[in-house]
């Protein structure tokens, strides 16, 4: 909003109005605004939720949709209930994060940028999906909430929409260098090199299904390669592969963030570090000089995502003001599904989705721990024909408790130490992700 207003004022000759043309300035202001909104709105939100009674309704919080039993170890899936004695702490705090992201983005970003629009749609869509889940939990006074199949359907719909928009939008392109003959001399707009004018290298905006593979020198993977056998239909099928990949990434990262949200500040701090890393990757991908120097895909207009990333970082850090141990508010699915979805779509836009297993390593191991625990315990119960209600012995399980952070908690490690160490690991993974730009 302010970007377009000050652009108009600059055209009228107003001194200083041009400062809003700089992404760095608008990103800084966006981060400050999101921090202020998160802290100010958070204080009001917590008081309001406590007064209305919309707080954590059980002394035990669960990580999967399994029915609780008298003994917290007796669950068929062995993804155990965790007693954390945080009853009456306000939930649905993800609304704080969403407000602190959306408002600064609307104020300081280019609203006609297709990538900005995509990120806003992602935030609001998954925010509504998570809010519906949290609202049903509060209304029914149980932990079931929105059935998992409806959450997955919402994630699939978002992934399909994102993939389709990136396919159909004329603004969603990459800029490639091509060498062309130029018999009339070097009078070509935006050219590079060849002093003898025997040919020039010019930039061309093209629709592409290419993405980046970390650790490889010629690090571009084209989804078209998977359907090259289709001949003339390969281009169309390549976009179908891309859309399927988008759906898988959105669902995986969103659910991974949801599983990670089991300790005070864990998902929030991890997401803040990941968001900062993606902001850096978006900046270099949207800067022609930086992209050419690093030999990565140049994606015009993605630099504008820095404004959104700054709001994302400010919102998560601001939420940590109230969410660090001991938490005064929980983000609920309203926040965790949204944070994961934002990270997934952001990475897809800047063609860095294949780096997510590294960057989101914490989300990955948390998800894998749940899958491994579930599969093993089901196999063990079937093999040993355990009656229903009889738990798999703790010593026979791959993990004492899943997701992984509860395994360490069960080993006696303090919650605050677990969270801090997970942040440190995420920071290390973030550095590795950035280093992949040169380490090839």
For residue range 408-420, what is the model confidence (pLDDT) as tens digits? 999 899 999 999 9
Considering the chain, what is the average pLDDT of its residues?
A: 84
pLDDT band at 114 (very low <50, low <70, confident <90, very high): very high
The domains of the chain are located at: 23-172+214-435, 173-206
Over 50: is that where the pLDDT of 177 sits?
A: yes
When pLDDT is averaged across residues 303-312 and rounded to a whole number, the result is: 95
Q: What is the pLDDT of residues 117-164, one digit of tens each?
A: 999 999 999 999 999 999 888 877 666 788 889 999 999 999 999 999
Residue 253 banded pLDDT, cuts 50, 70, 90? very high
Residue 204 has pLDDT above 60, yes or no: yes
- Give the pLDDT of residue 106: 95
Tell me, what's the pLDDT at 198?
52
pLDDT given at position 159 = 94
* Cβ pair 348, 249 in contact under 8 A: yes
**pLDDT tens, position by position, 370-399:** 999 999 988 888 888 888 878 888 888 899
Q: Which position has the higher pLDDT, 310 or 185?
A: 310
Residue 179: predicted pLDDT: 56
State the average pLDDT over residues 255-276.
95
Which pLDDT score, from 0 to 100, does residue 395 have?
84
Could you read off the pLDDT of 210-222 as tens digits, one per residue?
Answer: 898 888 777 788 8
pLDDT at 77: 43
pLDDT band at 9 (very low <50, low <70, confident <90, very high): low
Percentage of the chain modeled with pLDDT above 70:
82
Q: 243 preceded by cis ω (within 30°)?
A: no
Tens digits of per-residue pLDDT, 82-94?
444 566 788 899 9
**Out of 181-185, 204-208, 246-250, 408-412, least confident range:** 181-185
Give mean pLDDT, residues 310-321. 96
The model's confidence at residue 178, banded by pLDDT at 50, 70 and 90, is low
| pLDDT of 16 higher than 80 | no
């Amino acid at each position: 909003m302010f970007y377009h207003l000050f652009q108009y004022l600059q055209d009228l000759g107003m001194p200083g109005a041009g400062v809003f043309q700089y992404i760095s300035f608008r990103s800084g202001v966006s981060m400050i605004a999101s921090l202020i909104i998160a802290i100010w709105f958070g204080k009001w939100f917590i008081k309001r939720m406590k007064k209305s009674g919309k707080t954590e309704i059980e002394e035990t919080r669960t990580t999967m949709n399994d029915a609780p039993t008298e003994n917290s170890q007796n669950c068929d899936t062995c993804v155990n209930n965790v007693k954390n004695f945080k009853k009456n702490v306000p939930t649905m705090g993800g609304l704080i994060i969403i407000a602190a992201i959306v408002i600064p983005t609307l104020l300081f970003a280019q609203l006609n940028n297709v990538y900005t629009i995509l990120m806003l749609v992602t935030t609001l869509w998954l925010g509504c999906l998570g809010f519906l889940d949290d609202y049903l939990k509060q209304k029914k006074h149980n932990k079931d909430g929105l059935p998992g199949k409806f959450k997955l359907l919402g994630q699939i719909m978002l992934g399909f929409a994102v993939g389709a928009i990136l396919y159909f939008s004329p603004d969603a392109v990459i800029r490639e260098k091509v060498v062309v003959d130029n018999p009339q001399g070097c009078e070509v707009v935006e050219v590079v090199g060849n002093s003898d004018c025997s040919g020039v290298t010019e930039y061309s905006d093209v629709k592409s299904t290419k993405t980046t593979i970390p650790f490889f020198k010629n690090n571009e993977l084209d989804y078209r390669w998977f359907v090259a056998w289709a001949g003339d239909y390969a281009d169309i099928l390549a976009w179908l592969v891309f859309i399927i990949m988008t759906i898988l990434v959105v669902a995986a990262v969103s659910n991974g963030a949801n599983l990670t949200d089991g300790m005070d500040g864990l998902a929030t701090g991890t997401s803040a570090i990941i968001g900062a890393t993606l902001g850096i990757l978006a900046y270099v991908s949207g800067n022609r000089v930086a992209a050419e120097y690093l030999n990565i895909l140049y994606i015009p207009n993605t630099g504008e995502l820095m404004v959104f990333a700054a709001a994302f970082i400010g919102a998560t850090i601001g939420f940590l003001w109230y969410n660090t141990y001991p938490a005064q508010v929980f983000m609920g699915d309203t926040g965790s599904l949204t944070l994961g979805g934002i990270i997934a779509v952001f990475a897809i836009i800047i063609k860095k989705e294949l780096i997510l297993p590294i960057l989101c390593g914490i989300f990955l191991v948390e998800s894998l721990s749940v899958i491994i625990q579930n599969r093993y315990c089901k196999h063990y119960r079937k093999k040993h024909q355990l009656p229903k209600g009889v738990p798999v012995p703790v010593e026979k399980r791959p993990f004492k408790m899943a997701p992984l952070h509860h395994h360490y908690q069960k080993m006696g490690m303090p919650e605050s130490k677990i969270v801090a160490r997970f942040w440190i690991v995420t920071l290390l993974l973030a550095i590795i992700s950035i280093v992949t730009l040169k380490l090839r």
